[in-house]
Amino acid sequence: MAAKTNTAKKTDSSKKTLVIVESPSKAKTINKYLGSHYFVTASMGHIIDLPKSRLAVDVDNDFKPEYITVRGKGDILNGLKKLAAKSDKILLASDNDREGEAIAYHIGEAIRKKYPDIPMERIVFNEITKNAILDAIQNPRQLEAGKIDAQKTRRILDRLVGYKISPILWAKVKGGLSAGRVQSVALKAICDREDEVEAFVPEEYWTLEAQFSKDRKTFTAELSKIAGSKPEFKNKQQIDDFINSLDKDAFIVSDLSSTVKSVKPIAPFTTSKMQQAAANRFGFTSKKTMSIAQQLYEGIDIGRDRVGFITYMRTDSTRVSAQAIAEVREYIGKHYADALPEKPNYFSKSENAQDAHEAIRPTSVLRTPDEVKKYLTPEQFKLYSMIWERFVSSQMSPAEHETVTAIITNGDAQFRISKSTIKKQGYNAVLDVLKSKENDKSVMPHFEKGEQLKFKDFVPAQHFTQPPPRYTDATIIKFLEENNIGRPSTYAPTISTLLDRYYAVRKAKQIMPTVLGTLVNKIICQSFPEIVNIDFTSDMENRLDKIENGQDSYNALLHEFWPPFISKVNTVMDTLADQKISLDEPTDQICEKCGRPMVKKLGKYGFFYACSGFPECRNAQAIPLGDCPREGCTGKIVPKKKSGRGKEFYGCTHYPECDFISWDKPTEFKCPKCGKYLIEKTDKIHGTYKLCVDPNCGYKQLEEH
């Protein structure tokens, strides 16, 4: 779209237009694009919201919410009003989604009460670039009532669920717990997967490869069929019997085939796909990914200029503007002419997508990762490179892979060997960060059909079936997206809430439920099965979409939901047995202060030892994780915290006499060589493995896959 550089004429040269955005960094970027006739300031998110101290929803009066100025935001609101008094127009420029629309509405209403005559308009943009901002100013709109109602409904619904179920957890389990509409579904999925892992019984099976030699090279073929069926060997005896049945001089190349497969490029990123890719490629948590994306969206200084590097990062759409497609096709034509398709590539819309924003893409494809690397932090560079590559590759031609396969027959047994090569680079030409990690290094000589091969050896291998994998950030987000649970803006906060509440922990990138999370999930599943029902939660999301589109009303949804829900809340509060004692575990430890037994209790950050004489005796201790590895020391290793918000480390209880410290958390496993505890490590070569805490021992235990 063409930039409109002329701005509206001022009726009063002493007054300016006030532009209100959400964050200071966004304000800083936009301020550079506008002239001296504009104030650009930040609201710091929501200024008006429901109070935290009470329900604040009048369930007897059509669910009317009681909004207040958020604690600590009064000065910000007063500052906005003072700037409004100096302005002849106000532009509400918060994010173009439900939350942003609600922020704009509440700010506008608060200012309008004091200054009802100041003109006020809403502007939206998908990227923070000069052209986009100037175009938005020239094309303002009014606030959208549907988005405001949908946000209000979601806020009230979550408030009713959280503030009515949470007191049950406080009364029956422990204080400080919470329940949520979306987080409860995610917690159930994590707990269900853990149940599957714990119930899993591994089964033994064997595979067989045969080694051959030709042209002074050794190659390997895998047993693929026996009498036309997939081979199944459950123990070594079965595979030994099969090997003995084969004639080692009767391996014949019975079939040769070649297939060419065209692989289409993938759509540009949506929020969930970006979070999944960043987790898989870089090990980023969803929270970290969104934080970095926010920085790239709001603006980066590049010399004297400041510009937003990517479009809005909360989206479920793969749609791309015509202008962006024209720019990227011109770039591809110049740098990768062989991979430019005749027509632009378009991608189908997801069934549940709101399609309010474009896909996540660079604001200008001309800002290549290599050219802007010097302006970015290493983490910003990684994420930007990934976004840039995915967008550019999405508008390139397919890649072509040729796979040559040979079938080697011995009686009714078939061994298979294949090798793939890229015949046409296509979209792969632009990939670096996103290039496939697979690299076919297999040796495959040239064969003639009917030739007899020189056999060298059999390579049988024992395996055990593996349990289903625990969820990671990437896979739990995939689960939420596929089941229409939550929206792009809620994926990362949902995971953070589960971790912050100690309902789940992240261990070697896997998300596992805690004892507390398992108990809370059990209570909610038994007492409020509809809250954790996937269809119920998905239907709620669809209803919110309909409210936004004017096809449903918040009154109808809440009037349907409330009566059966509050009836169930009252019943559960009266009938649910007290669960607090189930979290306390007697121990043999004796309190050194009063002599009474210590109890293992669950706190905000995990289990600890506390005196059973509480509150008379308030002695509490960290639970030892292992014996101190220092020679001659009888101390225990316990978790410690650095001052402030520092990272947790592990040290000896005999400090300062023993100054042993480690950043690596002890596991419950002992080293088979020296008897000291093993720590858990992760690296790119070995993945996750266990290592002896004593570097002089050097014992390493790799994970089986």
List alpha helices for 337-407, DSSP H. Answer: 369-372, 378-394
The two three-digit tokens of residue 405, written as one number: 């396969």
> What is the end-to-end Cα distance of the chain in Å, rounded?
52
List strands edge to edge, sheet with 16-21: 38-42, 16-21, 87-92, 120-122
Q: Is 609 left (phi over 0), alpha (psi -120 to 50) or beta?
A: beta
Helix-helix angle 145-172:515-527, to 10 degrees: 110
* H or E segment to which residue 683 belongs: strand 677-683
| Rounded distance between C-alpha atoms, residue 239 and residue 226, angstroms | 12
For residue 431, give the 3-state DSSP assignment. coil
Three-class SS of 469-499:
CCCEHHHHHHHHHHCCCCCCCCHHHHHHHHH
Catalytic position from the list 33, 38, 105, 312: 312
The answer to whether 699 is a known catalytic residue is no
* H or E segment to which residue 236 belongs: helix 236-244
Residue 439 C-alpha from the chain's centroid:
27
Q: Which is it for strands 16-21 and 38-42: parallel, antiparallel or unpaired?
A: parallel
Strands (E), 143-251: 204-214, 217-226
| Rounded distance between C-alpha atoms, residue 259 and residue 241, angstroms | 35
The two three-digit tokens of residue 182, written as one number: 């979306």
Find all residues with CB under 8 Å of 599, minimum gap 6, and list them: 584, 585, 586, 587, 609, 610, 611, 612
**Whole-number CA gyration radius for the chain:** 31
Cα dist from 613 to 409, 581, 593, whole Å: 76, 15, 10
Other beta carbons less than 10 A from residue 338's beta carbon = 11
Annotated catalytic residues are 312
